[in-house]
Structure 1
Amino acid sequence: AMIDHRNERATGHVLTIEDPIEYVYRNKKSVVNQREIGPDTASLQIALKNALRQAPDVILIGEIRDRETMSAAIAYAQSGHLCLATLHANNSYQALNRILSFYPVEVRPTMLGDLAAALRAIVSQRLLRTHTGGRVPAMEVMLNTSLIADLIQKADFSGVREAMEKSLAEGSQTFEQDLSRLITDGLVSRNEGLAHADSPNNLLWRLQNDFNSTKAADAASPGEEENTDMATFTEFTLDVKF
């Protein structure tokens, strides 16, 4: 979706490195060059090494599985390229811990400094069943603010999670915050939301707090509705950068 958004709105060269290619993009405003490991390049290592020689504006790495790929993503960002990538993790806390696990202890301080400077955001998504049988995404968004960058550099990932839960990281949101919105808006059931929450107790607290806040707002200003538009977060996901 982020590649399509860029493709529809900006000119440039988008290079993807995938294993395998799961979705074929049509050129729109951008030229999208998809490279599949095997048919188009002998190995992932060769594809990563030759990526910058193709003068891309955007680089998509299908999945980061090891230190070499992670280091390449950071290097692309440090050279001024927008790098998008996927990583198997349930949330931003687990993603940061997995990235850390790629590196031996002696090089972690340097890597964390580079990551803190280059990372733009981590976006996690879970698909929930709606009342009508369809699917709707619940989103966790971690924006790399100055506070978050400082915590990442210190490897204080629990602090990152705490800052998000307390809304200290401007623009970020936890799964529980978005699940509360989905339940309150009637898009998913309470049980469905609780089943996908990292902390069901936190979600229950938020639902009660949101309910009390709505009652207070209705009493003060009857007829006015709170705006829960997610457009802001959609815009920010386009700046995911390693």
Structure 2
Amino acid sequence: MNIDEFLRVAVKKRASDIHIRVGCPPMLRIDGRIVPTEMRPMTPADTKRTLYSMLSNAQRDAFEKNQEMDVSFMISGLARFRVNIFLEQGHVGAVLRVIPINVPNLDNLGLPQAIKDFTHERTGLILVTGPTGSGKTTTLAGMIDYINANQDVHIITIEDPIEFVYRNKKSVITQRELVNDTSSFPNAIKYALRQDPDIILVGEMRDRDTIESALKAAETGHLVLSTLHTNDAVQTINRVINAFPPHEQATVLKQLAAVLRGTVAQRLAIKKDGIGRVPVNEILVVTSTVRDHIFKHELDAIYHLIAKGAQDGMQTMNQALFGYYEQEVISFEEALRLSDNQQELQQWKRGAYTGSGK
């Protein structure tokens, strides 16, 4: 299989992910659904030859030593691909995530105004969260592109691997990649503070050391953007706190209350016509009231504050889902599928919804 030709076809079909493994034809994820291609099942020799063609000699050696790795791959004029290569029952397999070659325009992503408002923050921490494949990277890329077009600042991105590649507009953007440019997220954040940054994008706050470094960067007068694999604002706050041992959590809670500016929890909903998906967002804006509740670890109040916080740009996931249902962008079944509180949605459909999160 010629990998370049196959990937061109996959991108043309609007695939977001490509699965290559032994014993089945290559599979595509299109609009959230896995779809088989019409190619023949792949043999062990097929997958090894195809996937090794994307790797340098050094990358092949590293893969054979570690048995799994993340790399990026680019076809000029088409797209970049974030590639995870692994062994499955002794055979080489991979999943490729398609990264469009053009950085997304924030205004074209269909996101709430609050997300654009976050880009005007000068300091603090903003977290974009959600499960794998929910569009977190695309949302962050749209935010960086908007800042790049409108602000005279220095942006440093630390990624694993680099996905969207930016060209300087009004901003200067430095992009660093784990392994190739730095040994770890914490090290890169530490040295980024000496590189005259205004904004630091951390690809993922995946461990305690990275979270600690990101909080310090936000405390010292920088705007830090990052991601977590959490489903809502309360879970996000708890994930940050619980990354630390119990005797440190009270201090971290105070740090987080001081620096957190907002969270964006995101999921992708299949449109009612079945063609394409739309981002659906829970938005937490950290007002003085929200900050006080975080400081006191009164997290049970957060959902109610989000539900009542429309004037500050906040919305719950259910409010966002129900809004798209009322606008006939998504079906009610799709709204239920993505909801963590289906009973609330069903009550609203029966006429109990007032727009205030009751």
Q: TM-score range by the shorter chain?
A: 0.7 to 0.9
Structure 1 residue matching 2:193: 3-state secondary structure: helix
Q: Does 1:16 align with 2:16?
A: no
Given residue 344 of structure 2, which amino acid in structure 1 is its aligned partner? N
Query: Does the CA contact (< 8 Å) of 2:264 and 2:283 recur in 1?
Result: yes
Aligned to 1:123: 264
Q: Which structure is larger by alpha-carbon Rg, 1 or 2? A: 2
- Structure 1's unaligned 5+ residue stretches are 214-242
Distance 1:165 1:125 in 2: 16
Aligned to 1:171: 313
Given residue 243 of structure 2, which amino acid in structure 1 is its aligned partner? F
Alignment TM-score, normalising by the size of structure 2: 0.57
Give the drift of 1:46: 2.0
Q: Does 1:147 align with 2:289?
A: yes
Structure 1 residue matching 2:194: 3-state secondary structure: helix
Query: Does the CA contact (< 8 Å) of 1:13 and 1:58 recur in 2?
Result: yes
Structure 2 residue matching 1:34: 3-state secondary structure: strand
Structure 2 residue matching 1:39: 3-state secondary structure: coil
Aligned to 1:197: 339
Distance 1:52 1:19 in 2: 19
Aligned to 2:228: 87
Alignment TM-score, normalising by the size of structure 1: 0.83
Query: Does the CA contact (< 8 Å) of 1:145 and 1:169 recur in 2?
Result: no
Given residue 239 of structure 2, which amino acid in structure 1 is its aligned partner? R
Q: Does 159-168 or 40-49 show the bigger shift? A: 159-168
Give the drift of 1:144: 0.5
Query: Does the CA contact (< 8 Å) of 1:124 and 1:139 recur in 2?
Result: yes
Distance 1:211 1:73 in 2: 39
Aligned to 1:180: 322
Distance 1:67 1:212 in 2: 41
Structure with bigger RCO (C-alpha 8 Å, 6+ apart): 1
Q: Does 23-32 or 41-50 show the bigger shift? A: 41-50
Q: Deviations over 1:65-96 (max 9, x none)?
A: 11221121111111111110001101112111
Alpha carbon RMSD of aligned pairs, Å? Answer: 1.8
Distance 1:34 1:153 in 2: 34
Query: Does the CA contact (< 8 Å) of 2:325 and 2:335 recur in 1?
Result: yes
Give the drift of 1:180: 0.9
- Structure 2's unaligned 5+ residue stretches are 1-141
Given residue 169 of structure 2, which amino acid in structure 1 is its aligned partner? K
Query: Does the CA contact (< 8 Å) of 2:257 and 2:294 recur in 1?
Result: yes
Aligned to 1:223: none
Distance 1:27 1:45 in 2: 25
Distance 2:209 2:340 in 1: 30
Q: Deviations over 1:99-154 (max 9, x none)?
A: 11111111111111111011000001111110231111111000111111111112
Give the drift of 1:169: 8.4
User: How does 1:28-47 map onto structure 2 within 5 Å?
Assistant: 28-47=169-188
Given residue 334 of structure 2, which amino acid in structure 1 is its aligned partner? E
Query: Does the CA contact (< 8 Å) of 1:16 and 1:33 recur in 2?
Result: yes
Distance 2:351 2:267 in 1: 23
Distance 1:58 1:210, change over 3 A: farther
| Number of equivalent positions | 213
Query: Does the CA contact (< 8 Å) of 2:347 and 2:353 recur in 1?
Result: no
Query: Does the CA contact (< 8 Å) of 1:148 and 1:169 recur in 2?
Result: no
Given residue 241 of structure 2, which amino acid in structure 1 is its aligned partner? L
Q: Deviations over 1:152-199 (max 9, x none)?
A: 112222221232234488431100011111000010001001100110
Query: Does the CA contact (< 8 Å) of 2:149 and 2:169 recur in 1?
Result: yes
Structure 2 residue matching 1:64: 3-state secondary structure: coil
Q: Does 1:70 align with 2:239?
A: no
Structure 1 residue matching 2:205: 3-state secondary structure: coil
Aligned to 2:302: 160
Query: Does the CA contact (< 8 Å) of 1:112 and 1:155 recur in 2?
Result: yes
Fraction of identical pairs, as percent: 41
